[in-house]
Amino acid sequence: MKKLLSTIVILVIGRIPAYASWAVIQTTSATQNPATSVFSSTFPVNTTAGNLIVAFFNTSGSTITISNADIGGNAFTQVPGAKATSATTGLSDIWYLQNNPGGIKATTVHYAAATAFPAMIVYEVSGIKTSGSLDVAAQVSSQTATTTPLGAAVTTTAVGDFIVANVNVANSITGIHAGNEFTWDDSVKQFTAGSHITSASATAASHQPQWDESPSGAFCGSTASFFITPSFGLNKRSKLLKFE
């Protein structure tokens, strides 16, 4: 008797992560003289709920401590490992607020003591995870004089991270160094320069900003990267089952 062979095809449908890209929605920056212990800067329009707010805070004194910072009363978190100092140029630090509540504009930083020429650059960024958003961070402190300061390198763990970098220099930043993968966003009195990774699909690899400074001067700098928001698409695959 001949055996009858039957084949059943089972279609398996699952979810696989897909990733959107980030976008810089708006920035604000400011500096102040004379010295102050409380300092603010305001976005042009209200923030959108869920977006990341990330801020660079610089001072001209390397021993100054940031007590706290907030936007519209919502507390920032200091990025671990991002604080950089230089006896020549001062302090560079990064703070952030993930999943901001929206409808807010003004970022305020409180220093433990009055500091001369405080500066800040603040970003609102969409497409970032609303929890567990920080990937990696790094800093470079007490760097010797150069006309092409290299910021802190970070090795990201995911494709498409939003990466921000700051430098606090002794003289004047004139722009991003030719060929570097970062975009120069804003310079406050030229001695501090906020920048972000240009590509929204940067590989999971080492990324390092570089600027041009004139004349040659010492510097310190901070870099941090943030995960983008995962979305999910359908993954279809089939499996053959044979029966005799």
**pLDDT at site 138:** 98
What percent of the chain stands above pLDDT 70? 86
Average pLDDT of the segment spanning 155-159: 97
Q: What is the pLDDT of residues 117-139, one digit of tens each?
A: 899 999 999 999 999 999 999 99
Amino acid, single-letter form, for residue 108: T
Distance CA 82, CA 109 (A): 17
Percent of the chain with pLDDT strictly greater than 90: 75
What is the per-residue pLDDT for 206? Answer: 98
Q: Mean of the pLDDT values across residues 6-29?
A: 67
Residue bearing tokens 């923030």 = 47
| pTM (predicted TM-score) | 0.87
Q: Taking 80 as the threshold, does the pLDDT of residue 8 lie above it?
A: no
Domain boundaries, given as residue ranges, for the chain: 19-232
Cis omega (within 30 of 0) for bond into 34:
yes
Give DSSP secondary structure letters for 199-218: -TT--SSEE--BEEEES-EE
Instruction: Check residue 33 and give its pLDDT.
Output: 85
* The pLDDT of residue 2: 47
Q: Average model confidence (pLDDT) for the chain?
A: 88
Q: Poorest-confidence range of 17-26, 116-125, 153-162?
A: 17-26
From residue 222, how far is each of 79, 135, 186 by CA, in Å? 10, 14, 15
48-101 pLDDT, tens digit per residue, is 999 999 999 999 888 888 999 999 999 999 999 999 999 999 999 999 999 999
Q: Are 65 and 112 in contact (CB under 8 A)?
A: yes
Contacts of residue 158, defined as CB under 8 A and 6 or more positions apart, other chains included, come to 135, 204, 227, 228
- How confident is the model over 170-206, as pLDDT tens digits? 999 999 999 999 999 877 766 788 899 999 999 999 9
